[in-house]
A and B are shown apart, each in its own frame.
Chain A
Amino acid sequence: MRKEMLTGNAAAAWGVRLAEVDYIPVYPITPQTEIIETLARWISDGVMDSKYVTMDSEHSMLTAAGSASATGARAFTATSSQGLLYGFEMLYAVAGWRVPLVMANVSRGLSSPITLEPDHNDVLAARDTGFLQIHCETCQEVLDSILMAYRLVEDERVLLPIIVNLDGFYLSFTREPVEVPDVEQVRNFLPLYQPKHAFFKASQPMAQSAAVLGGLGYSYFKYQMHMASQNALAVYKEVCEEFETGFGRNYDTIEGYMLDDADYVLVMTNSFSTLGKAAVNNARESGIKAGLLRLRLVRPFPVADLKAAITGKMAVAVIDQNISIGKGGILHSEIASCLYNEKHRPLLLSFIAGLGGKNISPDEFEFIINKTVTGADTEDAGTAQLIYTDKEWQEMERLKRMAGKG
C-alpha cells in the first residue's frame, strides 16, 4: 500500500490495473481520455498484462467489451457524454447478455449546445439499461469503486454490467491523495473471474443472445434482469463489508453528512457533494440543522436505505445536476416515488443546478437551504427551481448582445 497524488482518471486506471483486467477496448473522448492513455502506457511498458485495442467508435468499443466478457474475460472500458450516447444501443444489449463488464463514465453535459464540463444527463440516461451505477465524490472512491464494482457484478446473484461514474474536470482532472492498495491485497478481495453461465469454447457450443419472439421470453428475461439488480442491493452490503475489512474504507449505498440529527437535508451526487457539505457546515454555523445525503448507488436504487435516512425529516431539497426537459430533476422524481407511501414523508423540494459544470456558490446553497426551511414552515414545496444568479443572468445578456440577439 502506498499513497500517491492521483487525478480521478488516474485513480480509475489504477483500479483497472489492480483488478488485473484481461481486456480493454477503447475510444477517446474528453474528459475520459486520460484513463485509456494511462492504461495504454502501462500495457506498453509491460507492467499490466492486458489486451488493449483501439476501436472505431464507442458503439464498437462497447460491443467488443461486452463480447469479450461473454467469452469469459474480465473486461473494462471507459467513456463520457456523447460517447455514452453513441454506444447507447449496446448498453441495453450488453446488459441483456448478463455479463459483468465494468465501465467508467466521466460525466460531461450533452449536446446541444456541445460542451465539456459535467452534469449527469449522460449517466442518468443509462439508468433504465440494466447497468448498475456507482457515483463517486473523491478520487480514492473512484479507485475503490472499480474494485468493488467487479466484485459486485461478477457475483452469480448479479451478473449485470456496471458504470462507475465520476465528474469530468472537477474530479477527472483534480489531484487528491489516494491510497493505492497492493495487488495481493486486491487478489484476496477480488478472485479470478471464472464464469459458469457465459463463455465460448469449442467443447461446449453455446448460442448467446438469441432472439425471442413474443412477450413470454422477453418479459421473463427482463424480469430476471430487474430481480438480479434487486439482488445487488444485498450483495452490495456484503461487498461493502468485506471491502471495509480488507481496506479500512466504508462505502455504503448512501453517505450521510451531519444527517442523523438534521431537520433539513440536501440530496446530491458526485463531486459537487463536497460543495454541499461545505454549505451544510455554513448552515450549521447559522444555527440551521442542515445535513446532506449523497446518493452513491444509483442503480439499483437504494430505496430502503433512502427511506430510513430521510423519513421524519422536516424537508429535503434534491439538487439535480441534470434536467429532464419537460419534467425537471430526475433524482427528485425517483426519490419522490420512494417516499409517496410513507406516513412521515418530508416535504420534497426540487432544485436544478450545476448544469454543464456551472458552479454552485455558497450564496446559491444558502438560497436553496432558506427555501427549504421556509418551505417546511409554510408546507409548500413550490415548483422546481432553476438556479441561476443575477450576475450570471447579466453576463449572459452581455453575451447575447455580442451574438446579435440582445
Chain B
Amino acid sequence: MAGNGAIKEDGGKGVKEMVIERIKSIKGIPPEENMLPGTPACAGCGGLLALRHCMKALGRKTVIVNAAGCFTLLAIYPYTPFKNSWLYTAMASAPAGAQGIRDALDILIKKGRLDPDEDLKVVVLTGDGAAYDMGLSSTSGAINRNLDFYYICYDNEAYGNTGVQWSGATPFASKTGTTPPGRISPIGSELAKKDLFAIWNSHKPPYLATISPAHPVDLINKFKKAEQYKGPKLFIALSPCPPGWGIDSSYTVKLAKLAVDTGVWALKEAVFGVVTHTVVPKRFKPVEEYLQVQGRFAHLFKPVRQEAALNKIQEGVNEYWNRHKLLL
C-alpha cells in the first residue's frame, strides 16, 4: 500500500479510496531520473518520454518485464538505461513473465528466503502490437488472476520496430507499410482502432488509465492514485512516433497535446470499471488539425481530399464524447 495519503470513507460503496496528494504542476514531478539518456530509441520518441515519467513515478525498486517491441532495444548487452531490473520475455507473454516474477517474489518472501525489503514492483512494458494483438490472451489472463502488477503500453499505433506496419491499434485511414493508400484502396487502413481500454475495463481491474507524454502532471497523479490498489494497474500511453507518423522529431509533444485537444485521445481512468475523464478540453479542436500535420494521413488531403473518410473520423470522435455526455 502507498504511504502518500489517508484513507477516505467510501460512502458505503465497499471500496475504500485513498486521498492522494496530487501534484499540481510540473514542479511537483519527482526530480529523480530512473531511466537515463543515451538509448538507441528514435529522436523524439513519444513512448520514451512517457516511460521516463512513468519510471519517475514507479521508483527504483522495480523490475520491468518487456515484450518484443521498440523498447526491447533499450537494454542491449552490456548496457541498460534503467536503474532498476529488467527481463525481456517474448512478444506475447510479458504479463505471464510478470506473473512468474510476482509469484516467485511472494513465495520466497513467505518462505523467509527473501527479505521483504528486497521486494519489487513488477511492471510490464509492451508496445501496442503486443498489447492489442498477440499478447491479449496473456494480458487478459493476468488481469483476471488479479495479478499485482503495473502494465505500461506505449501505443504508437503500429508495429513500429519492424518499420511501421498495421496493428490492432492502428487508427482508421492511417497509412502503414501494410496498409498503403493506392488507386484501389485510397484510404489506407480500413479498420478502426481497437478499444483496448474497454477490453481491459471489461475485466474490472482496480485501476486503468490512458496517459500522454504531453500531460506529465496527469500521468504522475494517475500513478500516485494507482499505487493504493493491489492488483492490475494498467496504463496506455498514446505515443507519437516521428518516423511512423511522419512528423518532425521536435513535434512529438505538440502532437500528443493535439491528440488530447481534438478529442482523438481521451485522458481517462477507471477504478473497478467506473470510468472518469481526467482532462476534458473546454473547446475541442477540429480533428483535421491533428491529421493534416502527419505524414501517415497526408493521403486524406492530397492529391484528392477524402471527404468521407475525414467526416467519418470526426464523427467517430464526436460520437465518443457525446456518448460520455462531455461534448459541449
Taken together as a complex, chains A and B put the C-alpha atoms of A246 and B95 apart, in Å, by: 41
Q: Is B318 an interface residue (CB 8 A)?
A: no
Q: Could you tell me which A residues sit within 8 Å of B by CB distance?
A: 22-23, 25, 49-51, 53-57, 59-61, 63-73, 75, 89-90, 93, 192, 194, 200-203, 205-213, 217
Chain A residues within 8 Å of B291, by CB = none
Known: A68-B100, A210-B88. Is A57-B118 also a contact (CB below 8 A)?
A: no
In order of increasing CB-CB distance, the 8 nearest A-B pairs are A56-B141, A67-B100, A60-B96, A71-B104, A64-B100, A68-B100, A68-B104, A73-B104
CB contact between A205 and one of B65, B79, B84 (< 8 Å): that residue: B84
The 14 sampled A-B contact pairs (Cβ below 8 Å) are: A25-B96, A56-B140, A60-B137, A63-B99, A64-B100, A68-B100, A69-B100, A90-B90, A202-B61, A202-B117, A205-B82, A207-B85, A208-B88, A210-B77
Q: In the complex, A402→B96 CA distance in Å?
A: 46
For the complex, count residues of B whose C-beta is within 8 A of A: 50
Q: Is the CB of B86 within 8 A of A22?
A: no
A93–B75 CB distance below 8 A? no
B190 an interface residue at 8 Å Cβ cutoff?
Answer: no
Whether the Cβ atoms of B118 and A63 lie closer than 8 Å is no
Binding site of B, secondary structure by majority: helix, strand, loop or mixed?
A: mixed
Q: List the B side residues contacting A75 at CB < 8 Å.
A: 100, 104
A206 contacts B99, CB within 8 Å? no
Measured between beta carbons, the chain B residues less than 8 angstroms from A25 are 96, 99-100, 103
Chain B proximity of A50: nearest CB distance (Å): 7
Interchain CB contact (< 8 A) of A59 among B72, B96, B111, B145: B96
B136-161 CB contacts (< 8 Å) to partner A: 137-138, 140-141, 145
Q: Which of B36-89 contact A (CB under 8 A)?
A: 60-61, 63, 65, 72-73, 75-80, 82-89
- Which B residues are closer than 8 A to A by beta carbons? 60-61, 63, 65, 72-73, 75-80, 82-90, 92-101, 103-108, 111, 113-115, 117-120, 137-138, 140-141, 145
Q: Is the CB of A71 within 8 A of B100?
A: yes
B73 and A71 contacting across the interface, CB-CB below 8 Å? no
A72 to B106 CA separation, bound complex (whole angstroms): 11
Q: Is the CB of B101 within 8 A of A67?
A: yes
Q: Which residues on B sit within 8 Å (CB–CB) of A23?
A: 100, 103-104, 107
The docked-state distance in angstroms from the alpha carbon of A90 to that of B97 is 11
Which A residues are in CB contact (< 8 Å) with B96?
Answer: 25, 55-56, 59-61, 63-64, 67
In the complex formed, the residue of A with least CB distance to B84 is A205
A60 vs B136: C-alpha distance in the bound complex, in angstroms?
Answer: 11
Determine how close the nearest CB of chain A comes to the CB of B112; give it in whole angstroms.
11
Residues of A within 8 A of B72 (CB): 211
Specify which chain B residues have a CB less than 8 angstroms from the CB of A213 in the assembled complex. 76
* A205 and B140 contacting across the interface, CB-CB below 8 Å: no
Given contacts A56-B138, A89-B90, A209-B88, contact A217 B77 (CB under 8 A): yes
Neighbour of B99 across the interface among A55, A57, A59, CB < 8 A: A55
Query: Given A51-B107, A71-B105, A207–B80 Cβ distance below 8 Å?
Result: yes
State the total of A-B contacts with C-beta under 8 angstroms. 164
CA A192 to CA B87, docked complex, whole Å = 24
- Told that A60-B93, A70-B100 touch, could you supply 16 new A-B pairs with CB distance under 8 A? A57-B141, A59-B92, A60-B137, A60-B141, A67-B65, A67-B101, A71-B100, A72-B113, A75-B100, A194-B113, A205-B60, A205-B85, A208-B86, A210-B78, A210-B88, A217-B77
Contact in complex: B90, A63 (CB < 8 Å): yes
**Chain B residue contacts of A201, Cβ below 8 A:** 114-115, 118, 120
* Min distance, Cβ B136 to any Cβ of chain A, angstroms: 10
CB distance from A220 to the nearest CB of B (A): 10
* Cα-based distance from A194 to B96 in the complex (angstroms): 23
The minimal Cβ–Cβ distance linking A266 to chain B, given in whole angstroms, is 40
Most buried by B among A23, A64, A203: A64
Q: In whole angstroms, how far apart are the Cα atoms of A61 and B92 in the complex?
A: 12
User: Judging by beta carbons under 8 Å apart, are A50 and B107 in contact?
Assistant: yes
* B88 surroundings in chain A (CB, below 8 A): 208-211
- Contact (Cβ within 8 A) B138 A71: no
A194-B112 Cα distance, complex, nearest whole Å: 13
Residue of A whose beta carbon sits closest to that of B95: A60
Cα A53 to Cα B168 with chains together (Å): 29
B101 x A200 contact (CB < 8 A): yes
Residues in chain A near residue B140, CB distance under 8 A: 56
A90 touches B93 (CB 8 A): yes
Shortest distance between the CB of A70 and any CB in chain B (Å)? 6
In the bound complex, do residue B87 and residue A49 qualify as a contact, i.e. CB atoms below 8 Å apart? Answer: no
**In whole angstroms, how far apart are the Cα atoms of A54 and B96 in the complex?**
11
Known contacts A53-B99, A210-B88; decide if A205 and B104 are in contact (CB<8 Å). Answer: no
Q: Judging by beta carbons under 8 Å apart, are A211 and B73 in contact? A: yes
Contact between B65 and A22 (Cβ–Cβ < 8 Å)?
no
Q: State whether A56 and B137 are in contact (beta carbons under 8 Å apart), knowing that A206-B85, A209-B89 are contacts in the complex.
A: yes
What's the least CB distance linking B234 to chain A, in Å?
A: 16
> A39 CA to B79 CA in the complex, in Å?
41
Residue of A nearest to B145 (CB): A53
- How far, in angstroms, from A71 to B85 measured CA to CA in the complex? 11
A70 to B63, CA, bound (A): 12
Q: Separation in Å of the A49 CB from the closest CB of chain B?
A: 7
Please give me the residue from chain A that is nearest to B88 by CB atom: A209
What is the CA–CA distance of A148 and B98 in the complex, to the nearest angstrom? 29
Given the interface contacts A53-B99, A68-B103, A207-B82, does A63 sit within 8 Å of B93 by beta carbon? Answer: yes
The residues of A that contact B141 with a CB separation of less than 8 Å are 55-57, 60
Q: How far is the CA of A319 from the CA of B260 in the complex (A)?
A: 67
Distance A73 CA – B114 CA, assembled complex (angstroms)? 10
Q: Within 8 Å CB of B86, what residues of A?
A: 206-210
Inter-subunit contact A22/B111 (CB<8 Å)? yes
In the complex, how many angstroms separate the beta carbon of A216 from the nearest chain B beta carbon? 10
